[in-house]
């Protein structure tokens, strides 16, 4: 954003060096780079990234948060565009689309999925996706709202590329709408803010109302949450009317 809004900022060259170094660390495409391996985390065969490198794990490498994966490639694509590096933009776009396809196929499951057994498909998300198994859990919290919510972080428009409307509807109706923090509108649990932004695609008015006073997840501002929720409403929802009804407590 800073590169787009203020490209002549005095410290822009320093910032660019940092970002290019981070990109090379994760997704360096060149065999001539002496400092970083090629495509450190990404598997071109499987179409998605891994969250482990040389660490030895009994069930193989794994991926947990697909949304973090897809947002990296989105950021890479935008960075290539704003810096005028067409090759970087094109590579980011390719990896973004391949990753989204893999996520829709293996990680975020609609009811008609035949990739996994029915006992797994009914959860709609795989949880931790190992080479040898899937584990409906997270590395840090054994709660359904976290198992599903980790697939929504960070909130951004590109998440919709992997999270189809059919998937979001089924996940919400079958799982998330029945979670106690949703039923009770427990605004003290920050995960609720993520679930509500996601739910705006299927239940926009109630989601927008509840987002007014929900405690925001770390790194998520209320303005960004409301904007993303409002812009993901169905075409038949009058967002202007909904916005008028919002009075946020500060």
- Does 108 share its domain with 171? yes
Average pLDDT, the chain: 91
Q: Given 178, 207, 235, which residue is the final one in a domain?
A: 178
Domain that holds residue 58: 2-178
Q: What is the pLDDT of residue 152?
A: 97
Taking alpha carbons only, the member of 183, 182, 175 closest to residue 197 is 182
Say how many domains are in the chain: 2
Q: Which segments in the chain show pLDDT lower than 50?
A: 241-244, 246-250
The separation between CA 190 and the C-alpha centre of its own chain, rounded to angstroms, equals 16
Q: Among all chains, which residue has been given the structure tokens 């067409």?
A: 86
The answer to whether 72 and 26 are in contact (CB under 8 A) is yes
Do 84 and 174 have their domain in common?
yes
Q: Domain boundary at 130, 160, 178, which?
A: 178
pTM for the whole structure: 0.89
Instruction: Based on the fold, state whether residues 222 and 150 are members of the same structural domain.
Output: no
Per-residue confidence (pLDDT) for residue 57, from 0 to 100: 85
Please tell me whether residues 131 and 190 are part of one structural domain. Answer: no
**pLDDT value for 242:** 47
The predicted pLDDT at position 5 comes to 85
Do 61 and 15 fall into the same domain? yes
Q: Are residues 163 and 190 in the same domain?
A: no
Q: Which of 151, 178, 205 is the last residue of a domain?
A: 178
**Contact, 47 vs 98, CB < 8 A?**
yes
| Residue 155 and residue 239 in one domain | no
Same domain for 140 and 87, yes or no, is yes
Q: Are residues 150 and 184 in the same domain?
A: no
What does DSSP say about strands 42-43 and 48-49: parallel, antiparallel, or unpaired?
Answer: antiparallel
In this structure, are 214 and 145 located in the same domain?
no
The reply to whether 155 and 218 lie within a common domain is: no
Q: Give the integer Cα–Cα distance in Å for 133 and 117.
A: 12
CA distances, 164 to each of 104, 153, 220 (Å): 8, 16, 22
Same domain for 22 and 39: yes
pLDDT value of position 243: 46
Between CA 16 and CA 245 the distance in angstroms is: 42
CA dist., res. 41 & res. 25, Å (int): 9
């Amino acid at each position: 954003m800073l590169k787009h809004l203020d490209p002549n900022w005095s410290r822009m060259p320093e910032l660019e060096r940092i970002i290019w170094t981070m990109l090379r660390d994760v997704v360096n495409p060149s065999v001539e780079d002496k400092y970083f391996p090629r495509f450190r985390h990404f598997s071109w065969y499987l179409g998605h990234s891994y969250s482990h490198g040389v660490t030895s794990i009994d069930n193989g490498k794994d991926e947990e948060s697909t949304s973090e994966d897809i947002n990296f490639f989105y950021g890479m694509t935008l960075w290539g565009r704003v810096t005028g590096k067409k090759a970087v933009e094109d590579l980011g776009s390719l990896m973004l689309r391949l990753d989204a396809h893999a996520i829709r196929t293996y990680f975020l499951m609609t009811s008609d999925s035949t990739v996994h057994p029915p006992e797994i498909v009914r959860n709609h998300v795989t949880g931790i996706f190992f080479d040898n198994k899937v584990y409906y859990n997270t590395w840090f919290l054994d709660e359904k709202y976290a198992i599903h919510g980790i697939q929504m972080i960070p909130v951004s428009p590109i998440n919709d590329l992997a999270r189809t409307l059919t998937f979001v509807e089924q996940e919400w109706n079958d799982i998330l709408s029945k979670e106690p923090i949703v039923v009770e509108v427990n605004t003290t649990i920050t995960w609720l803010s993520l679930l509500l932004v996601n739910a705006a695609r299927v239940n926009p008015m109630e989601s927008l109302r509840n987002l007014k006073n929900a405690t925001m997840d770390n790194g998520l501002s209320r303005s960004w949450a409301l904007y993303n929720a409002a812009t993901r409403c169905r075409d038949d929802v009058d967002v202007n009317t909904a916005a008028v009804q919002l009075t946020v407590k500060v």
